[in-house]
Amino acid sequence: MSNVLAYDFGTGGIKASVYRPDGECLVSHFATYETQYPKPGWHEQNVGDWWHATVEATRALLEEWDGSADSIAAIGISGHSLGLIALDEQGELLRQNAIIWSDSRSDTQPAQFFSSVTEEDWYMTTGNGFPASLYTAFKIMWLRDNEPDVFNKLGMVLGSKDYINYRMTGVMKTDYSYASGCGVWDLNGWQYSDRLIAAADLSGAIFPKATASSEVIGTLTDKAAEELGLSTSVKVVSGGVDNSCMALGARAFRDGDVYNSMGSSSWIAVTDSKPLLDPKSRPYVFAHIVPQKFTSALGVFSTGSSFRWIKEQLCGELTFEQMLELAAQSPIGSNGVMFLPSMAGGSSLDPSQNVRGGFVQLDLGSTQGDMLRAAVEGIAMAQAVALRELEHLSPLSSEMLAVGGGARSDFWMQIYADMYGKNMLRSQVGQQAAALGAAAAAFVGLGEWADYSPIGDIHRIEDTTEPIAENTGKYGERMAVFEKLNGYLSDIGDEIGEI
């Protein structure tokens, strides 16, 4: 039996986990690294910190585990998207810091690009539904315009997990899912778009060759094996972008499969044989880990982070559990109080990026419990808007698997079920979905699995929360008010921005 080592490479740290072929996670360890914010809109991470955390997590995992490192036959990585690591033609770093997914410094480059390509044409080709400045190609254009000494030596641009793969194997490649978030990838053609690369005035040679997520790109080098405490025979597969690894790990690998990721930010994603594209709501689409599939999502930037802000600013020493207990004491509709969770700005679902969060309809009788329930309902309602938009584009399953920290609360799960009108499922996978997806790519690459179908059997459904029809009706009546509120606060955000 061959085990695999899966890495969930996130914004705040990297989790290393060992999986056996039946999908059981045997041991995990998490190591952190910092994000630097040198200027407004600049979000960078030191790539040396990434590698040190990878080594730390792996070494600690092997020390904690009572199994044998020799049983690990392959490695798969899930990595955060839209990154830029600049390397020269010899593979040496040109910048010690990576420009990560949330960095929006490339504010003038989109206008340059869209002078020759319409934004709708670009979106319908790439499925890149986030603001253009977040995508890799526009960050490379920023390098050209602001760091010419780096740009002129540029030999290759890698993403987050592809850089770790390079440190492990000496091979510079990416996979289809990560490449689909670079800003110049043709989704339906499954290849880089020469037309879009030309519009960006870039060379196609700087983008790494894309392969299947399960393709073995190499084995551990002597140096990497020594640092990690593993054998040089360990194979490394190409892996995938976090959105697609999570979709696979959340068993969303067949047409119509849908899941809800509930964390600091939250999204609803559906798998389909075609990308779900709409120039108005702009779902963000990635190529799936599963061949010839796509994962299309709409989300809210600040869900769990909004609830955390409320805890830190308004709830003193209350725990999250105590906050939810208070929320449960308020009736459906929170005695008229409503909350808009746009505390990190607007997404493609909002009329303006300038919209910000807020409580409305407070009166002197409003209680802390009313405000807390309004927050929970508002977070769920914002995602219900996303679900409705996705349902317009494709038939979806009547069941939705919930993953992430927000799925732990029974109270919250009932509100989601009522708001969505769907059965909400929880399984033992929980917050390990992205790691499981990366492990699955490694098992397919090893030949332990013939395809990705074993994912369906790995999930053991622990409980199902069914919607209460009466509650669904009540929330439906409030949805129109919620969307009107979103429009008003978007207009106000624009006016405040002008002031």
Instruction: Give the residue from 276, 196, 263 showing the smallest Cα distance to 8.
Output: 263
Do the domains 3-243 and 251-428+468-499 sit in the same CATH topology, yes or no? yes
Q: How far apart are CA 313 and CA 491, in angstroms?
A: 26
Structural contact between residues 1 and 21, judged by C-beta atoms closer than 8 angstroms: yes
Cα separation, 136 vs 462, whole angstroms? 39
Three-class SS of 155-209: CEEECHHHHHHHHHHCCCCEEHHHHCCCCCEECCCCEECHHHHHHCCCCHHHCCC
d(CA 245, CA 478): 35
- Residue 111: CB atoms within 10 Å: 9
Task: Phi first, then psi: give them for residue 268, nearest 5 degrees.
Answer: -115, 130
Query: Which one-letter amino acid corresponds to residue 229?
Result: G
> What is the pLDDT, as a whole number, of residue 347?
83
Determine the pLDDT at residue 351. 87
Task: Report how far residue 264's alpha carbon sits from residue 305's, in angstroms, rounded to the nearest whole number.
Answer: 5
pLDDT, residue 329, reads 97
Q: What is the separation, in whole angstroms, between the first and last Cα of the chain? A: 65
pTM surpassing 0.85? yes
- Alpha-carbon distance 14 to 179, whole Å? 21
Report d(CA 248, CA 251) in Å as an integer: 5
Identify the pLDDT of residue 66.
93
Give the CATH number of domain 3-243.
Answer: 3.30.420.40
Which tokens sit at 251? Answer: 């068993």
Rounded to the nearest 10°, the torsion over CA 405, 407, 413, 416 is 80
Q: Which helix (H) or strand (E) holds 269?
A: strand 266-272
Class of domain 251-428+468-499: alpha beta
Three-state secondary structure call for residue 329: coil
| pLDDT for 353 | 82
Round to whole Å and give the CA distance between 482 and 69. 53
Contacts of 63 (CB under 8 A, 6+ apart): none
Indicate the residue type of 477.
E
Q: Classify residue 371 as exposed, middle or buried by CB count within 10 Å of its CB (0-12, 13-18, 19+).
A: buried
Six token digits for residue 130: 């986030």
The radius of gyration of the chain's CA atoms, rounded to the nearest angstrom, is 22
Q: Tokens for 409?
A: 């609360």
Model pLDDT, residue 431: 84
- Grouping H, G, I as helix, E, B as strand and the rest as coil, residue 492 is helix
Provide the 8-state DSSP code for 101.
T
Residue 365 is encoded by which pair of tokens?
């009788």
Length of the chain (residues): 499
Round to whole Å and give the CA distance between 204 and 216: 23
Return the pLDDT at 365: 97
Q: How far apart are CA 475 and CA 495, in angstroms?
A: 30
Quick one: pLDDT at residue 263? 85
Tokens linked to 292: 């010839």
Residue pair 402/420 in contact by the 8 Å Cβ criterion? no
pLDDT averaged per 10 residues, the chain (length 499): 93 96 96 93 96 98 95 97 97 97 93 97 97 95 98 98 98 98 97 98 98 98 98 98 96 94 91 96 96 95 91 94 97 97 86 90 97 97 95 91 89 96 93 95 97 94 96 94 94 91
Q: Residue ranges of the domains in the chain?
A: 3-243, 251-428+468-499
